[in-house]
Structure 1
């Protein structure tokens, strides 16, 4: 029904039952390479700080002070010294989430900083991508991502570096974007130049287990890539055999990632 793509009530239920209960990609580990580097992720109305601590471990915390609920980090990314400090009452947290400073509370009977760390969110890594889950007791990441383990190793994805970021403000429901990416029946009419390089009936889906879908399409000779020119525009990715270098791969990792 059309209302599934326009109803605020449906979207609110999706936020609760999908975005708050699924493993959602929040960024690349390589984006925060040094201790104190952080990024802020927004998921279903919640804000998270993803930060690399002084030991080099990447952690995720809710972006809210335990004192009066003030937002701790405003920017989309940045670098913290050795602590996270609330701009309201200067409560200060270590990069591991421990409350290490709370002015004017020494006289409060029974108060212990150990009782007020930042609320942590689970964080897992796959092929250099970071995932979190807002559910109180999320399905184990290793179980959900079992079908993907080792599948993309030949691409050497963790070694890739971001050299350019492009953002699009799409006036459409999130499901339309995901569904459009997951099929190419529209390609001959909407993307004729692409179909000239990648025949939309070629290839096959090779991943249909769990919250994943995707596969490959064959690059039509004599083209060497799916670019407008058809020429190779970069070095081959990873350790791919010759036949796989003549393919374009498209995968969706439900609900928000397109690879």
Structure 2
């Protein structure tokens, strides 16, 4: 958001507070319950999120080669890491042998390779398959065809964005341009994550988002805030 627009909105808020008024919609809005319960709509929403870059972590968590973070909330397991050359990498967190989850920890640092806990296939920080126990039993296997599955990834505004869909041709430029003004204003690129907390709720994700966007409840539910 541009500073001029921020100033305009703050002025509107102060004026409303002084007058004990608020902005109002033109009329009553009604929401169909199927928006939250229709399984076909849910499937369409999940498909949409797979086609859209998601901000999965803070860049400060992947500051050095060997730093890594795992993420499971996008509907598929994702491994993010900083490789030996300092490049950011994103992969499906899945071993190419039998599909076991490769890394179970939430994150860490100082890694040089990742070894599957099931059959000990190992991969370097660039996702290349490096080691196969009893390799003679896999005669003729092309290791290059069994590297970790790469995901498009980009670092911007102090955040790490991942497209949770294997693609070779994705360009983040257009997407990031649309959020640049807002995210630049937070200055997250100069921040280091100090503490991280996770709150788990069994509810429809739209209820959480909408609860944070609508202000009708604020003066009653948060009167002491």
The TM-score range, normalised by the shorter chain, is: 0.7 to 0.9
Residue 68 in structure 1 maps to residue 102 in structure 2? no
**Residue correspondence of structure 1 range 83-232 to structure 2 within 5 A:** 83-106=113-136, 108-137=138-167, 140-194=171-225
Q: 1:121 touches 1:134 (CA, 8 Å); kept in 2?
A: yes
Counterpart in 1 of 2:68?
38
Counterpart in 2 of 1:2?
33
Q: CA deviation at 1:10?
A: 3.6
Q: 1:20 touches 1:133 (CA, 8 Å); kept in 2?
A: yes
* Structure with more contact order per residue of length (Cα contacts < 8 Å, sep ≥ 6): 2
Q: 1:52 touches 1:59 (CA, 8 Å); kept in 2?
A: yes
What 5-or-longer segments of structure 1 have no aligned partner? 195-259
Q: CA deviation at 1:146?
A: 1.2
Distance of 2:207 and 2:197 partners within structure 1 = 19
Q: 1:32 touches 1:52 (CA, 8 Å); kept in 2?
A: yes
What is the aligned length? 193
TM-score by length of 2: 0.76
User: For residues 123-168 of structure 1, what are the alpha-carbon distances to aligned partners after superposition, in whole Å with 9 as ceiling and x for unaligned?
Assistant: 1122111111123558632112212225443542111122222322
**Residue correspondence of structure 1 range 240-251 to structure 2 within 5 A:** none
Q: Which protein is richer in strand relative to its size?
A: 1
Q: 1:19 touches 1:43 (CA, 8 Å); kept in 2?
A: no
Q: Give the direction of change, closer, same or farther, for the CA distance of 1:182–1:140 in structure 2 (3 Å limit).
A: farther
Q: 2:152 touches 2:162 (CA, 8 Å); kept in 1?
A: yes
Q: Which protein is richer in helix relative to its size?
A: 2
CA RMSD of aligned residues (A): 2.2
TM-score by length of 1: 0.67
Distance of 1:143 and 1:179 partners within structure 2 = 26
Counterpart in 2 of 1:47?
77
